[in-house]
Structure 1
Amino acid sequence: MTSRLCTRSVLLRLSLFLAISCVLATSAFLWARAPQDVTPDGIPHFNRPAPTPPPQAHPIDTLMKKADREWHRLMAKETTDLESAAKAYRWRRGRHPPPGFDKWVEFARLNGAVVVEDFFDQIYHDLTPFWGLEPAKIRRQAKNFEFVVSVRNGSMTVKSDDKDRPWMKLWGNMVGTIAEWLPDIDIPINVMDESRVVVPWEDINEYVKAERASRKLVPRPEVVREYTGLQEIDENPGEPFDLEWIKGGLYWDIARVGCPPDSPSRNVEALTNFSGPPPMPSGFPDRSFEGYVTNWTEAKDPCLQPDLRGSHGTFVEPISMSTTHYLFPIFGGSKLPMNNEILLPPAMYWTTDEFYSGGEEHGGAWETKKTAVMWRGAASGGRNKLENWTRFQRHRFVSMVNGTAVQHAEKDSNGVGPNFELLSYNTYHLTATQYMDLGTWLNSISEAAFVNLVCFPGTGNVNCPYTDAYYEVKKTMSMREQYAYKFLPDIDGNSFSGRYRGFLRSTSLPVKATIYSEWHDSRLVPWLHFVPMDNSFVDIYGILDYFIGTGIAKRREGEEKAVVEGAHDEQAKKMADAGKEWAERVLRREDMQIYVMRLLLEYARICDDRRERLGFVDDLE
């Protein structure tokens, strides 16, 4: 009896095993035959849309709330009179303000400026290393440079060559508007797009130590209250310094010496093979918050991102190069984080030329704009050639938001285009891809195109034989025309993009990716005044999905109004409005004057032999 029960038990288990195996085999066969690799439109792509994640705060919601707190923290530090401004200066800088500080505060007050000491941090980042050089050396370097804006006895002059240098004229004009309040100074100007100075990090570190050692609040009776002036250097300018300009080579190897020794990029050599797509993240970008930029300073820093040596034209092949490893007081409109220029507001921001400013019309009401991404520009960024064009940032961005290019990658190439690689849909949980493939979605919400393919060597027209197959050249659009769209990406060209201030002042929403620093960085808050984007651009789909959603309005059962799935249009409008309002308060021409006046008072002190005792203390009497 026991033997018979055991036999029956074994047979039951065997039958159950065979039945389960049959079901699994059938399921596997049916799954393999099922169209699981197609979109709802029947178009195949390289992976399935992600299932809807459980309800929770979107990362962008979290980042916007964080940005709002940061802005309120900054505004709590606003100063409104001489006493509070001088007190904030001494607390943050560790020394007395420079002579002329009272006139600077009055100038800011008369021009209705928002004064927060943190807004001027870039000045001290730029000037601090020069406390490690002898003042006489700085004066001589500045006096003998080829391109100089000078102030003597309250009047401005420009020294240049015989070529047309529009930026020199504009910077001269900018300084000229405040010259009556400035001490005598010589301001060397970088007339190139590219940055010029990269001092090894170890040298900069020693110069910074020298500044710290000299930092103190000198007793009031010992303070020197007037600048010495430049009569001596005018009478005996000496000979120009040999700065040993580097005119060729791999710029990445030249630039990475400016990175800290323990940074990811310092010991990574430059690439020489630029074929195929650039290196791109396989998931969320490093140091991001669930895929989105959370630290704007880090997101822009090539020292933290060695992949940029193969994905940004600055490091692939710049248009021109003339770089020195010696610390030298040269002023320019932008620089890389490892560069040592002294930043001025860019001449493009000072000009009233509508090509850069968009004029005084900054777009209509948000509700009247087209819900789409608009980008127009030249394929600049360096010398793009047959063998390297796939590594340039503007080419990559235009391809990644072009629906046709993305559809080709989805259908034919397992998510790989000639100059980009798509992440799995599962990475960013895109709402749109639950309804359609990525390319179809982009075709409905994106209008990005080149106006000139900028070949090297040049072709004499806007086309380019090695990129014509990938890009349709379209007509130029004025800034005013671009303001008819809700979303305006801003991408580096040969250096920074001169359109950024215009975009910020518009009623549209800027989406910004850059590796360049500018004068205003300390006064703009990402996720409050603009949308920050990673330089790989892999987050662009998540950004657009959050703000635009599917881009197609559908009527739900029982509802009268058609809605767009997943859209956060109100949040986009709120950010665009906040950015415009803030730009009109802190990025005015008057704010540039105020910044430059403060900068040049500090620069004049550094050039003075009595700099350690030079200061403003009238508020302490």
Structure 2
Amino acid sequence: MWSLIQLFYIIIVNAYITSLLYRSHAYVDGPSQLILTGGSMATVYVVLAHLAKSTTIQEHNEGESCVPTGQILVTQLSLSSLGIATILMVFMGGTGSGLLVTFILGVAQAVQWSSFYCLTTSGFAMASATSQLTAFAVGVPYLQQGPFGADTSSFIIVASLVMYFLTLPRMNSMPLWSRIILMIVPLLPRSMTVAIPQTWARKSHPIELLHLEGRRQYNDMVSRQSKTVEEAITEYHRRYFRAPPTGFDSWAQLALDNDMLLIDEFDDMTKAFEPYQQVGPNVLAKILERVLDMDLDDLVIVKIENSQITSSSDKFWNYHGEYLHDWLAKPLYKELLPNLTIILNTFDEPKVVIDSKYAQPTLDQASNIQFTNFGKTHPWSRMTLNCPGASPVSEVAEYIAVEFVADLTQTQDVCQHREYEKLHGFFNTPGNLNLVDLPVPLFSQARPSTFHDLMYPSPYYEAHRDDYNEEKGFPWDQKRTSLYWRGSTTGGYNTIENWQEMHRQRLVLSTIPQNGPYNITLLEQKTSRSSWNPYRTISTPKLQGLFETSVSEVVQCDEEACDELKAALPPEGSQSDSASYHHKYVLDMDGNGFSGRYYRILRSRSAVIKQTLLKEWHDDWLVPWYHFIPLSMQGSEVWEMMRFFSTDEGDEIGAAIAESSSRWTETNLRKVDVELVTLRLILEYGALFDRKQ
């Protein structure tokens, strides 16, 4: 029995070594992959070989049990491997994501190899190489993706066989060469799937790799969330280098009690408060006083006093205040609320771009605050006044590569993309825009990277929470493989000079089937193992058939522009919300501000292709390529995107993204989640006026 326990221990330890070695370099690509893999394996082999030579393996007969012989040796080797692998993981910056899954796979592989060995010898030559072979078996899908995968694979196979030979016990009943053959025969099926496929293996499409990375990021994010109030407070200190606001401990307990999945993920929402932390509470109070006196129609004022919440009652947009009241109305929430005055921007467009010279305004400056109307003008310089002067315009070459959005934060950084001036209606010629250049701490539903509005959950989404009707939806395999979008020409004010630069019009003009064929760029492989390279071609009727894009109504334009728009993009009228549910892929684009249909189509079990320059509160919780498919502002990659999604591999990923987004709305978009997000934001807001913290 003790011998069996020791054998089980050896399997477990080697499986753990597997997970450490594999996770330390599984996601590393390029030449460093070979260095990390080879270096870690070689170090283990050197020590194992040294120990093997210094330990005597007694001769034994074939009929002996496979358990007792060599136990001391294998135990020593396993412990040494464990120590080395742990040190390697620490210095190589390994991640703990998926460790349990890898460990379980390692156990299964270790049992398989150990069983093979017991059939061919009564020693433990197998155990010393089990961890290395298992690590490789588990890591094959990832090793194949790197350019040095074949070299790494060959190294591991050869080194593992060498390790077999070094620790193989001497046998009396059978020649050594025959024992080696018997030992290699069980490995041949694995070798066919491990070594040879490195020549035949299909090179993954960029979208496949982006989806894998998105899934890893989200799983990592979920696994690292705080499990106690104390952990949440510690994590807040670590992220923001300051103490959390008054009431945070009670908020954290409420979040835990209500099973909030992402209790720590508030980075964008929290960092939005940083400019206002540079302004004294008395100056902020003066700014609020001045804004209240202005009595602007597009602002709703909410006041909290002695836990009682009141809002403007005579304005058309007052439902914003009513939803805020509803979100904070629970007794457990109200007892945490400080006395505050809150300003809600009810318009789609944000309002605050702080001029650096007013970053810390005086009381006199705060008393003279003004909002300036930039509607139907070209306010690019005003919107980007805080960008470095040397910000380059990203050049788009005549022969362009197909580039998918890999870093959404960088893609949405307006300062890094001066070309957005001509690619997005809001930056080109907004239909409505009232800007203020002092730090007015008002809440807006969405904002670009150069704006300083505070973010909060949009009441519009909440008002339309039940718009998705499950009975009108379809399972994935009953949807059409096509991209759907129909909407009006909002997004900016259209003139004869600029309407073709507006983001909605540009995308429809470049995909509407009746306007084809189009000059497009796709990706191709010469062989299944070669890289994906771009090539220019003409869109085919089959490819054009993957798009169903059209304009429902022509609006926000002067007379001449309206006429041209109607001629180029004949309006086809509105359709019911459920029209999009027939399609596997649904495009969602900015309008004048954020898109109000986003949550509905995330729920619809279609995969959302999202094109936006606006940040919203939920960006902290949604992961690109796992919950949605990001599209650049140029949008030219949409052709290759849809070509890939029409393949079997692409369809599988599209279905996974659609399922992930639907599940996200169920687990992260509950009413209680929106309430708790709002409560935490109000606590952060209250801290601006309570600097004693």
Question: Do residues 154 (structure 1) and 307 (structure 2) align?
Answer: yes
Offset of 1:283 from its aligned partner?
4.7
User: Of residues 498, 504, 519 in structure 2, which corresponds to 1:394?
Assistant: 504
TM-score normalised to the size of structure 1?
0.71
Q: Which residue is equivalent to 1:259? A: 387
Q: Which residue is equivalent to 2:643? A: 545
Tell me which structure has the larger Cα radius of gyration: 2
User: Of residues 209, 215, 240 in structure 2, which corresponds to 1:93?
Assistant: 240
Deviations 1:323-380 (A, max 9, x none): 01111101010001000000011122121365xx425668321111121111121110
Question: Do residues 241 (structure 1) and 351 (structure 2) align?
Answer: no
8 Å CA contact 2:581–2:604 kept in 1: the answer is yes
Question: Do residues 338 (structure 1) and 443 (structure 2) align?
Answer: no
Q: Aligned AA for 1:492?
A: D
Greater CA deviation, 331-340 or 436-445? Answer: 436-445
Q: Which residue is equivalent to 2:438? A: 326
8 Å CA contact 1:490–1:510 kept in 2: the answer is yes
Question: Do residues 371 (structure 1) and 517 (structure 2) align?
Answer: no
Question: Do residues 573 (structure 1) and 683 (structure 2) align?
Answer: no
Give runs of aligned pairs for residues 525-564 of structure 1, distance below 5 A: 525-549=623-647
Q: Aligned AA for 1:569?
A: D
Give runs of aligned pairs for residues 69-468 of structure 1, distance below 5 A: 69-117=216-264, 119-143=265-289, 144-145=291-292, 146=295, 147-159=300-312, 162-176=315-329, 178-200=333-355, 241-248=367-374, 249-264=377-392, 282-284=398-400, 291-352=403-464, 357-359=467-469, 363-407=473-517, 410=518, 415=519, 423-425=520-522, 437-457=538-558, 464-468=562-566
Q: Which residue is equivalent to 2:214? A: 67
Q: Aligned AA for 2:423?
A: S
Q: Aligned AA for 1:393?
A: H
Q: Aligned AA for 2:281?
A: P
Tell me the percent identity.
25
Q: Which residue is equivalent to 2:29? A: none
User: 2: CA distance between counterparts of 1:281 and 1:183?
Assistant: 55
User: 1: CA distance between counterparts of 2:682 and 2:397?
Assistant: 42
Judged with a 3 Å threshold, the aligned counterparts in structure 2 of structure 1 residues 116 and 263 are, in CA distance, closer, same or farther, namely farther
Offset of 1:292 from its aligned partner?
0.7
User: 2: CA distance between counterparts of 1:365 and 1:159?
Assistant: 44
Judged with a 3 Å threshold, the aligned counterparts in structure 2 of structure 1 residues 361 and 595 are, in CA distance, closer, same or farther, namely farther
User: 2: CA distance between counterparts of 1:362 and 1:114?
Assistant: 29
Unpaired segments of 5 or more residues in structure 1? 1-53, 208-236, 269-278, 416-422, 550-565, 615-621
8 Å CA contact 1:199–1:340 kept in 2: the answer is yes
User: 2: CA distance between counterparts of 1:176 and 1:449?
Assistant: 43
Judged with a 3 Å threshold, the aligned counterparts in structure 2 of structure 1 residues 166 and 383 are, in CA distance, closer, same or farther, namely farther
Deviations 1:230-283 (A, max 9, x none): xxxxxxx99983323222352101011132445336xx9xxxxxxxxxx85545
Q: Which residue is equivalent to 1:217? A: none
Judged with a 3 Å threshold, the aligned counterparts in structure 2 of structure 1 residues 165 and 451 are, in CA distance, closer, same or farther, namely farther
Q: Aligned AA for 2:312?
A: K
8 Å CA contact 1:293–1:299 kept in 2: the answer is yes
User: 1: CA distance between counterparts of 2:544 and 2:253?
Assistant: 53
Judged with a 3 Å threshold, the aligned counterparts in structure 2 of structure 1 residues 133 and 238 are, in CA distance, closer, same or farther, namely closer
Greater CA deviation, 241-250 or 394-403? Answer: 241-250
User: 2: CA distance between counterparts of 1:292 and 1:503?
Assistant: 22
Q: Aligned AA for 2:403?
A: G
Greater CA deviation, 322-331 or 566-575? Answer: 566-575
User: 2: CA distance between counterparts of 1:239 and 1:387?
Assistant: 38
Offset of 1:544 from its aligned partner?
0.7
User: 2: CA distance between counterparts of 1:245 and 1:282?
Assistant: 42
8 Å CA contact 2:211–2:653 kept in 1: the answer is no
User: 2: CA distance between counterparts of 1:57 and 1:344?
Assistant: 39
Give runs of aligned pairs for residues 505-520 of structure 1, distance below 5 A: 505-520=603-618
8 Å CA contact 1:201–1:260 kept in 2: the answer is no
Q: What is the alpha-carbon root mean square deviation over aligned residues?
A: 3.1
User: 2: CA distance between counterparts of 1:129 and 1:455?
Assistant: 34
Judged with a 3 Å threshold, the aligned counterparts in structure 2 of structure 1 residues 192 and 260 are, in CA distance, closer, same or farther, namely same
Higher relative contact order (CA 8 A, sep 6+): 1
Q: Any idea what SS the aligned residue of 2:548 has?
A: strand
Q: Any idea what SS the aligned residue of 1:568 has?
A: helix
User: 1: CA distance between counterparts of 2:334 and 2:564?
Assistant: 50
Offset of 1:594 from its aligned partner?
1.1
User: 2: CA distance between counterparts of 1:538 and 1:427?
Assistant: 16
Judged with a 3 Å threshold, the aligned counterparts in structure 2 of structure 1 residues 315 and 127 are, in CA distance, closer, same or farther, namely same
Judged with a 3 Å threshold, the aligned counterparts in structure 2 of structure 1 residues 201 and 567 are, in CA distance, closer, same or farther, namely farther
Q: Any idea what SS the aligned residue of 1:466 has?
A: helix
Q: Any idea what SS the aligned residue of 1:318 has?
A: coil
8 Å CA contact 1:334–1:495 kept in 2: the answer is yes
Offset of 1:82 from its aligned partner?
1.2
Q: Aligned AA for 2:310?
A: T
8 Å CA contact 2:252–2:263 kept in 1: the answer is no
Offset of 1:172 from its aligned partner?
4.2
8 Å CA contact 1:402–1:442 kept in 2: the answer is no
8 Å CA contact 1:148–1:160 kept in 2: the answer is no
Deviations 1:547-597 (A, max 9, x none): 114xxxxxxxxxxxxxxxx65211110111112112321122222111111
Question: Do residues 491 (structure 1) and 589 (structure 2) align?
Answer: yes
Q: Which residue is equivalent to 1:504? A: 602
Judged with a 3 Å threshold, the aligned counterparts in structure 2 of structure 1 residues 64 and 79 are, in CA distance, closer, same or farther, namely same
Q: Any idea what SS the aligned residue of 1:292 has?
A: coil
Deviations 1:130-174 (A, max 9, x none): 111010121232344333112112221112654454444434443
Q: Any idea what SS the aligned residue of 1:452 has?
A: coil
Offset of 1:472 from its aligned partner?
2.8
Q: Any idea what SS the aligned residue of 2:277 has?
A: helix
Judged with a 3 Å threshold, the aligned counterparts in structure 2 of structure 1 residues 76 and 162 are, in CA distance, closer, same or farther, namely closer
